[in-house]
Amino acid sequence: MKDVTIARVYLKEGDKAQGHNLLQQIFRLLHDEHKVHGVTVFRGIAGFGSHGEVHADDLLRVAVHLPLVLEFFDTPEAVAAVLPRIQELVPAEHIVTWQARCGA
């Protein structure tokens, strides 16, 4: 068994940073630059944030900004190295981390 840190980043479809798709930027950062052990993106069917505006899947509406959750894990040191880069793109309150054990 080994200790890992899991990080979860809350976004929504269509979010942009520096004029580029935010999800793709973070994904490339994690995959290409930091080569973290595992990354998964979940698409929500409904959600709301601090402003209370509900975003939900609806067959009648095509352009909905659904919630996305990007989750990744690696050693505590690897996650600590990449988090400052992600925090440049995403508000800190949209990032949650916790410790876990891998290979139980």
Residue 81, burial from CB neighbour count under 10 angstroms (0-12, 13-18, 19+): middle
pLDDT at 60 over 60: no
Question: At 71, is the secondary structure helix, strand, or coil?
Answer: strand
Query: Average of pLDDT values for 35-63?
Result: 71
Question: At 5, is the secondary structure helix, strand, or coil?
Answer: strand
> What token pair was written down for 35?
């080569």
Model pLDDT, residue 82: 97
Query: Average of pLDDT values for 57-78?
Result: 77
Q: What is the pLDDT of residues 10-48, one digit of tens each?
A: 988 888 887 888 999 999 999 999 999 889 998 877 666
Q: In sequence order, which residues have a C-beta less than 8 Å from that of residue 6 and are 6 or more positions away?
A: 71, 72, 73, 79, 97, 98, 99, 100
